[in-house]
Structure formats: structure tokens, C-alpha cells
């Protein structure tokens, strides 16, 4: 009569895949309501300047043009709010939804054209006379730091904010340290590149005074509230609807200028307006990420015991503080220590405004960068001290008996979140990774020249924060046929949300998964929701489902007891039936029964793991072949091993693309040089065929009823540092030390040439 726990932990095929693979998905570009109009956005071709003229007469006169919207038509131009990690000093640097007097980066919106056809809107945009008096570009963070040219003249600096992370007494630790090393590193600017570019469809009903916006992703409730406020509507007058989405990765779904401009345009023309960006528009307008410059120092005892890390990190924030622009700077200072027991920490991060596209979060924000800095320092220290890099790390991983352990304290931030590592067996996981990788056998190849290529191996570790957002809602409704509809505030970005949450709901209600209907990604489904970001959808949405299921079962027991004339504790619920002894009633008899519950949590989850890599470097070309990549992680309770495995492998490939290929480059005038996929290289299926991943469920999280930890980002976090260390190990005879990402063939070749010129190794020219 009672089902066993059959679904959680099972590698079920993704429920959503059949529809998508059969071409039955519905993306923004597929939405074509009657009387659809098309939007094209005219963007600034200048990185910094004052707008002198926006001539729209010729564009307006073109047949088929319904409207041309500039700041003048909008009136009081709204300013985009900060969603998380806001700081008062960052307020003056928030972005207006459209430029009216000044532009600050190439790609900033200056006008919106609405027309009956896409091609007409594009032609009309070319007819707009845009005159801008160019100002000096603030092209780098070094130029920004001089404050000679201010992006915001009503301020006194281009420094948007500073973050500080502290633990122990770093100055004392360094004063007495037996070993110290100081290094400079950098991580390059790149961005998320989902298969589907951003798009929105806004439908305005003048009679009902109601706005429906399709294409919402990530945080629909937050964006709904912002749109409503900007349009001076009540939240109940605005619905944000998620359709199928071709990837998000942290960048897609934040509130951008277009999230106001397209709904505003729909109301302005009194109809339906759709906008879908092209790839160049995407590369210049969606949040960029990662660009950082670190000056860090590490301190150890002679036996390799870490005693401290200190230094500063400069961040190129771009032209504005967007919704989550401070999240990455905040994360990088707190996670430089990674999963290592470093008792003394002093890291400062300075976020500068430049004439570039604003930055935000991208999968593993701040943690990817911090891991690169940390892991490179650790390998350098291990090499100097003559200690095997694996032994060095095992020695310094946080022992299980010292968990939970607080992270470095952040000065001046919201204290409502408990930022401490929860639990874990870091050393156990690392040893498993080394064994699966074959570390002992492969390290015989370290630095060896074989068939004209140098071989190198490396290992690194990471922690991944998850479950942010404080709460999530789930609603359960029994339908006439006896199925249960489960609605959640979490959104689907391609992570298998429908499958995973259906598994949780089916087990919680002890009923077949085929009788669960999961709904997600609409502000009409539940009273509140936070969406999908920070590796939270399974932990928060799944835990909300557990609470809702508990409440629904209690409700059915009460109703069953009333019907059967017994006590509620004599009633059981399973398989879609309510039982009392030999008597039973189908769920359909209770159609309409509904509950909604909210799971609230102020403790984050921290999954963790280890990465290993084996590379072969061609010294003549700088080409690096990845011969083997292995990761092992512990994510607490595993809901679906198959979808998790896909997440891990996908994240590794994304990390490898970030490390080897992707690079957003600007010139001295703030012009984007890599504005197409011919210049901005992305990894393909054949680039990195030798990647492996094992996920474990060793230590269920104690901070949520599901026991799960966020796991969507860990496959990416350690990639840069591990690959950098593997290349350094391969080229150690040449004294090559990669300090700057990306590690492209030209970059590696230049390092080799510099090493040759410095004459560190007379034999090197003969070998290479």
C-alpha cells in the first residue's frame, strides 16, 4: 500500500527532452500573436560621448513603421535596480534603460524602432540620424583608477565600490612566515553564450490594462515587480511567462534595458511587440563577466602548511552597476581560500567603471576567478618547496572535523546569510579523484618531451555555493483525473528542472511520476518565487515541494478521516489513493484540494570536489591538447545521477572554452573587436573529447530537508587553475608560468618565446 522511495536517486531520462528533440519546443522566436510588431534597438557606436542629436523623422516616415521611441518619448527614464549585493556607494552608477544625454559603452540603447516587419524596423533604424560628441574612452581599469575622465561627472571617482575579506591576522602571519611568494594574475573578459539569444514578446491589452511578457527567465518575480513599478502598474497587472529557453548560465534573465523598453513599446503602440537580438547584439549588450587583475601573496611554513594569503584584486566592472554587478567582486574576495585551511586572509577588491559593456554573473561567478588565482599560487608554492602538488593540497584541505567552518568575513554586507562551509569529506573526494585519474602513474610523465610535445598533469579543488534566494514556493493541486499539478517558482534554463522536481514530488506523495504534472516559470502559478540562479532550483524548489507534499497529505488525511469516520492518523496516502484499512478513495474524489507552502532558508549549501588534467603542449605552436580531464564531486543527496552528470560535463566544457578560447577584446577607444562568433570562439563537441566525471553523495546537506546541495557550477570552477597548472608543469623545464587567461595557442607560444629570450635554460632551444 505504501510505495518505496523509487525516484530520488534514479537516473531517469529527462521528461522534457522528447518534446524538445521532436521540434515541439516553443521559444520566443516561435511566438507570433495576431498583429505582431517587431522591435529593433539602435545602439551607440561610440563608447563614451554626449548625445547631440537623435533625428528620427526619416525613420518615422518609412512605410510600416509604427513608432520610434527615444528617451524623449519615455519622459522620466527609469533606472535599473540592483537585485543582490547592493551597496549605497554603487547607487550613482546604475544604468538608465535608454541613453538620453550620454552614452558610456558601445551597444547602449539610444532608440527603439517598432515596425510591421523585422526588415522594415532594421531599415528604419539605419535612417536615424545619431550625432554623438565623442569623449575620451575609459578603456581599462588602470585608466579608470586615475579618475582623469569620469564616466559620471556628478561623482568624484570611477571606483564604484570596494569589498574587503578578513580572517585572522594576515600581517602578523606574513611577518613570521618561513616562505612567501607574491604574484600577479589576470582573468580575461568573456561571457555566457547560450544557444538561443535573448528575446521578449510583450502583449498589452488596453481594455484590461494588462501586460503579459513572454521570455522571462531566471528571476521572473523580481523582473515582474520591476516592470510593474517602471510602467506605474500594479504587479497584478503584469504577468511574466517563461517559454522554452536555450540556455542561461547566470547572464540571461537579469533585468536589462530591453526588459523595460519592449513592454513600454507594446503599451506605447497599444499592441504586441517582439524583440529577438542577433548574435552581435548579444555579444555587445548582454552582461560580460570575469575581467579581473590580482596582485596576491601566499605564505607557508617550510613543511607546506598554509598560513596566509593577502593582496588586492582589481575588477573591470564595465560602464554601469547592473542588477548583480557586485556579486562577482563580492564572491572573489571571499573564495580565494577555496576549500583550504588558510587561517589568515586579507583580500581587497576594487571595482572600477570602464567604457565597456557592464558585467554581471556567469556560471561560478567570482569562484572561477578565485580558483585560478588560488590554485596557481598553490602550485607555485609546492614547486618552490619541493612538495608534490597533490600532497601539498591534501595537507591543506579543511579537515572534516573542522566543518562547518566560516568563510572570511565580508565588511559592510548583509549578515542575514550564514556564509560558512557546511560539511564535507574534502580529502576523501580528492583521493578518489587522484585514483580515478591515475595520478601516481601519470606523474611519471610530468614535464616529459614525448613525440615533440611536453606533458603535464595537475590537480585542484573547489567549493560551490548554492541555494541562495532565501525562499521558494510550491503549490500542489489535485485535478479531476486524480493527477497532481505541482507549481513552483523555480524556472527552467535547460537544467532538467521538470524531471528533477517531478521525481521529488512523486516520492514525497508516494505516487507514480506519470501522475505528476509540473508547472514552472510563470508569475501566475504561485504567490511568490525567486527563480533559478546560484545553484538553487533543486535545493529550494525541491524543499518547497517536500513541505507542500507534507501539507497536502495532512489535508487528505483530514478529509479522509471525515469521510471514513476515523482519526486522521488512521488514514494513509499512497499511489494516488487515500486509505483507511481495506477502504480507499481515489485522489479524484478530492479534486480541487490545494495547498501552497514556502521553504525559507538562510544557510547556503556548499558542494565540493576535485579536478585533474593531463595536457600535451606543442612548444612550436603553443597548441595544448587535453588528453584527460577528471572530476569527482560530492553534492550531498543526488536526485538524478543522469541529469547531474550532464550538468558536470557541460560545465567542464564551458570552463575549458573559457580557459582556452573565449575572449571579449576591446581597443583603446572602447570598441569591441570580437563581436561575432568568427572572432569569439566557442568550444564544439570535438574540441575536448576526453572528459570524465563522477558525482558522489557522501555528505547530505544538513541545512535543508532534501539533503541536496547545488551542483550546476562546480564542473567549471576549478578548470582555469587546473589547466594553468598542467601547462606550467609541462613547460617547467622552460620556466614558463602562465599567469594570464586565456591560455590560447598564441598566448602559450608567446610565453615560450619570452622564456627562450630570457635564456633560463640553454638546452631549451635544442629541445623545442
Nearest one of 198, 221, 245 to 16, comparing CA atoms: 245
Measured distance between the N- and C-terminal CA atoms of the chain, rounded to whole angstroms: 72
At 766 the pLDDT is 38
Written as nine digits, the cell of 715 is 564542473
* 653 and 595 both lie in a single domain: no
* 541 and 640 both lie in a single domain: no
Residue 606 has pLDDT above 90, yes or no: yes
126-165 burial: b if 16+ Cβ within 10 Å, else e: ebbebebeebebbbbbebbeeeebebbeeeeebbbbbbeb
At 413 the pLDDT is 56
At 410 the pLDDT is 85
At 168 the pLDDT is 96
* 583 and 639 both lie in a single domain: no
At 760 the pLDDT is 52
- How does residue 3 score in pLDDT terms, banded at 50, 70 and 90? low
Query: Is residue 416 in a domain?
Result: no
CB contact at 8 A, 365 and 381:
no
The pLDDT mean for the chain works out to 95
Mean pLDDT over residues 110-120, rounded? 98
Query: Is residue 540 in a domain?
Result: yes
* 136 and 265 both lie in a single domain: yes
Q: Which of 555, 574, 600 is the last residue of a domain?
A: 600
Written as nine digits, the cell of 131 is 550625432
pLDDT digits (tens, 9 = 90+) for 508-521: 999 999 999 999 98
DSSP code per residue over 244-256 = --S--TTTTTS--
Mean pLDDT over residues 37-65, rounded? 98
What span, in angstroms and rounded, lies between the C-alpha atoms of 600 and 470? 5
Q: How many angstroms from the chain centroid is the CA of residue 482?
A: 38
Nearest one of 160, 171, 423, 465 to 334, comparing CA atoms: 465
* 59 and 158 both lie in a single domain: yes
Written as nine digits, the cell of 711 is 551542483
* 272 and 196 both lie in a single domain: yes
Query: Is residue 575 in a domain?
Result: yes
Written as nine digits, the cell of 224 is 515582474
Query: Is residue 430 in a domain?
Result: yes
What span, in angstroms and rounded, lies between the C-alpha atoms of 334 and 337? 7
pLDDT digits (tens, 9 = 90+) for 124-179: 999 999 999 999 999 999 999 999 999 999 999 999 999 999 999 999 999 999 99
- How does residue 654 score in pLDDT terms, banded at 50, 70 and 90? very high
- How does residue 768 score in pLDDT terms, banded at 50, 70 and 90? very low
At 456 the pLDDT is 98
Query: Is residue 410 in a domain?
Result: no
Residue 387, classified by CB atoms within 10 Å of its CB into exposed (0-12), middle (13-18) or buried (19+), is: middle
Query: Is residue 388 in a domain?
Result: yes
Helix, coil or strand: residue 86: coil
Nearest one of 359, 361, 360, 357 to 109, comparing CA atoms: 357
Comparing 426 with 416, the larger pLDDT belongs to 426
Q: Which of 573, 600, 627 is the last residue of a domain?
A: 600
Q: What is the 3-state secondary structure (H, E, C) of 187-216?
A: ECCECCCCCCCCEEEEEEECCCCEEEEECC
At 758 the pLDDT is 87
Edge-to-edge strand list for the sheet holding 179-187: 179-187, 292-300, 306-318, 345-353, 159-167, 409-410
Mean pLDDT over residues 584-604, rounded? 95
Residue 422 has pLDDT above 80, yes or no: yes
* 362 and 445 both lie in a single domain: no
Mean pLDDT over residues 401-427, rounded? 82
* 579 and 489 both lie in a single domain: yes
At 765 the pLDDT is 40
Range with the poorest average pLDDT among 244-253, 406-415, 473-482, 492-501: 406-415
**How long, in residues, is the chain?**
768
At 2 the pLDDT is 52
Helix, coil or strand: residue 698: coil
* 80 and 200 both lie in a single domain: yes
* 607 and 748 both lie in a single domain: yes
Residue 424, classified by CB atoms within 10 Å of its CB into exposed (0-12), middle (13-18) or buried (19+), is: buried
Query: Is residue 696 in a domain?
Result: yes
Q: Which residue has the cell 567549493?
A: 463
Q: Which of 574, 600, 626 is the last residue of a domain?
A: 600
Query: Is residue 418 in a domain?
Result: no
Mean pLDDT over residues 97-115, rounded? 98
Mean pLDDT over residues 324-353, rounded? 97
Locate all alpha helices (DSSP H) within 567-708, ordered by sequence: 641-660
* 472 and 460 both lie in a single domain: no
At 1 the pLDDT is 44
- The residue range of the domain holding 518 is 17-25+468-600
* 479 and 462 both lie in a single domain: no
Locate all alpha helices (DSSP H) within 524-678, ordered by sequence: 542-564, 641-660
Residue 762 has pLDDT above 50, yes or no: no
CATH of residue 547: 3.30.365.10
Q: How many domains is the chain built from?
A: 3
Left, alpha or beta for 489 (phi > 0: left; psi -120 to 50: alpha)? alpha
Amino acid at each position: 500500500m505504501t510505495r518505496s522511495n523509487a525516484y530520488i536517486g534514479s537516473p531517469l531520462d529527462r521528461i522534457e527532452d522528447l518534446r524538445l528533440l521532436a521540434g515541439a519546443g516553443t521559444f520566443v522566436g516561435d511566438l507570433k500573436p495576431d498583429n505582431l510588431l517587431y522591435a529593433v534597438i539602435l545602439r551607440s557606436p561610440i563608447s563614451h560621448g554626449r548625445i547631440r542629436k537623435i533625428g528620427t523623422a526619416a525613420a518615422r516616415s518609412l512605410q510600416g513603421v509604427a513608432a520610434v521611441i527615444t528617451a524623449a518619448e519615455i519622459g522620466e527614464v527609469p533606472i535599473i535596480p540592483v537585485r543582490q549585493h547592493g551597496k549605497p556607494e554603487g547607487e550613482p552608477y546604475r544604468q538608465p534603460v535608454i541613453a538620453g544625454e550620454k552614452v558610456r559603452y558601445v551597444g547602449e540603447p539610444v532608440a527603439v524602432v517598432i515596425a510591421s516587419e523585422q526588415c522594415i524596423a532594421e531599415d528604419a533604424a539605419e535612417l536615424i540620424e545619431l550625432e554623438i560628441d565623442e569623449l575620451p574612452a575609459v578603456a581599462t581599469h588602470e585608466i579608470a583608477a586615475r579618475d582623469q575622465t569620469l564616466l559620471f561627472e556628478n561623482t568624484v571617482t570611477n571606483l564604484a565600490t570596494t569589498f574587503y575579506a578578513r580572517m585572522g591576522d594576515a600581517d602578523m602571519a606574513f611577518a613570521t612566515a618561513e616562505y612567501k611568494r607574491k604574484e600577479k594574475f589576470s582573468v580575461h573578459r568573456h561571457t555566457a553564450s547560450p544557444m538561443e539569444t535573448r528575446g521578449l514578446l510583450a502583449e498589452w491589452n488596453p481594455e484590461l490594462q494588462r501586460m503579459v511578457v513572454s521570455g522571462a527567465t531566471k528571476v521572473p518575480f523580481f523582473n515582474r515587480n520591476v516592470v510593474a513599478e517602471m510602467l506605474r502598474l500594479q504587479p497584478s497587472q503584469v504577468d511574466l511567462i517563461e517559454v522554452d529557453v536555450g540556455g542561461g548560465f547566470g547572464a540571461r534573465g537579469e533585468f536589462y534595458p530591453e526588459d523595460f523598453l519592449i513592454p513600454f513599446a507594446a503599451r506605447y503602440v497599444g499592441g504586441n511587440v517582439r524583440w529577438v537580438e542577433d548574435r552581435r547584439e548579444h555579444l555587445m549588450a548582454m552582461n560580460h563577466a570575469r575581467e579581473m587583475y590580482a596582485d596576491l601573496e601566499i605564505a607557508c611554513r617550510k613543511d607546506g602548511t598554509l598560513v596566509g594569503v593577502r593582496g588586492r584584486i582589481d575588477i573591470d566592472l564595465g560602464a554601469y552597476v547592473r542588477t548583480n554587478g557586485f556579486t562577482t567582486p563580492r564572491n572573489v574576495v571571499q573564495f580565494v581560500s577555496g576549500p583550504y585551511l588558510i587561517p589568515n586572509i586579507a583580500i581587497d577588491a576594487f571595482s572600477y567603471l570602464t567604457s565597456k559593456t557592464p558585467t554581471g554573473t556567469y556560471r561560478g561567478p567570482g569562484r572561477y576567478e578565485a580558483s585560478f588565482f588560488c590554485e596557481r599560487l598553490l602550485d607555485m608554492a609546492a614547486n618552490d618547496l619541493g612538495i608534490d602538488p597533490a600532497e601539498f593540497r591534501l595537507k591543506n584541505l579543511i579537515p572534516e572535523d573542522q566543518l562547518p567552518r566560516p568563510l572570511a568575513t565580508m565588511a559592510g554586507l548583509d549578515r542575514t546569510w550564514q556564509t560558512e562551509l557546511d560539511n564535507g569529506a574534502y580529502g576523501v573526494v580528492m583521493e578518489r579523484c587522484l585514483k580515478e585519474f591515475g595520478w601516481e602513474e601519470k606523474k611519471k610523465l610530468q614535464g616529459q618531451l614525448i613525440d615533440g610535445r611536453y606533458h603535464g598533469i595537475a590537480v585542484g579543488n573547489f567549493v560551490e555555493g548554492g541555494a541562495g534566494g532565501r525562499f521558494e514556493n510550491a503549490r500542489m493541486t489535485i485535478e479531476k483525473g486524480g493527477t497532481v499539478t505541482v507549481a513552483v517558482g523555480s524556472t527552467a534554463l535547460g537544467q532538467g528542472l521538470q524531471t528533477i522536481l517531478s521525481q521529488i514530488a512523486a516520492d514525497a506523495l508516494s505516487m507514480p511520476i506519470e501522475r505528476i504534472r509540473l508547472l514552472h516559470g510563470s508569475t501566475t502559478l504561485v504567490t511568490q518565487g525567486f527563480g533559478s540562479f546560484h545553484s538553487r532550483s533543486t535545493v529550494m524548489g525541491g524543499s518547497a515541494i517536500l513541505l507542500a507534499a507534507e501539507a497536502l497529505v495532512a489535508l487528505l488525511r483530514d478529509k479522509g478521516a471525515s469521510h471514513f469516520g476515523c482519526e486522521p492518523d488512521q488514514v494513509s496516502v499512497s499511489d494516488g489513493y487515500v486509505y483507511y484499512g481495506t477502504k480507499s478513495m481515489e485522489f479524484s474524489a478530492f479534486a480541487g484540494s490545494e495547498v501552497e507552502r514556502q521553504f525559507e532558508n538562510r544557510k547556503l549549501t556548499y558542494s565540493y570536489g576535485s579536478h585533474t588534467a593531463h595536457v600535451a603542449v606543442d612548444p612550436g605552436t603553443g597548441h595544448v591538447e587535453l588528453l584527460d580531464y577528471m572530476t569527482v564531486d560530492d553534492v550531498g543527496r543526488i536526485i538524478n545521477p543522469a541529469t547531474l552528470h550532464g550538468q558536470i560535463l557541460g560545465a567542464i566544457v564551458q570552463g575549458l572554452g573559457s580557459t582556452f578560447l573565449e575572449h571579449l577584446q576591446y581597443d583603446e577607444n572602447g570598441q569591441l573587436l570580437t563581436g561575432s562568433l568568427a572572432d569569439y570562439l566557442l568550444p564544439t563537441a570535438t574540441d575536448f573529447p576526453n572528459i570524465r566525471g563522477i558525482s558522489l553523495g557522501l555528505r547530505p546537506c544538513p541545512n535543508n530537508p532534501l539533503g541536496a546541495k547545488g551542483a550546476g557550477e562546480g564542473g567549471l570552477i576549478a578548470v582555469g587553475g587546473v589547466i594553468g597548472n598542467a601547462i606550467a608543469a609541462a613547460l617547467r623545464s622552460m620556466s614558463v608560468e602562465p599567469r594570464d587567461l586565456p591560455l590560447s595557442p598564441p598566448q602559450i607560444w608567446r610565453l615560450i618565446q619570452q622564456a627562450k629570450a630570457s635564456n633560463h635554460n640553454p638546452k631549451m632551444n635544442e629541445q623545442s
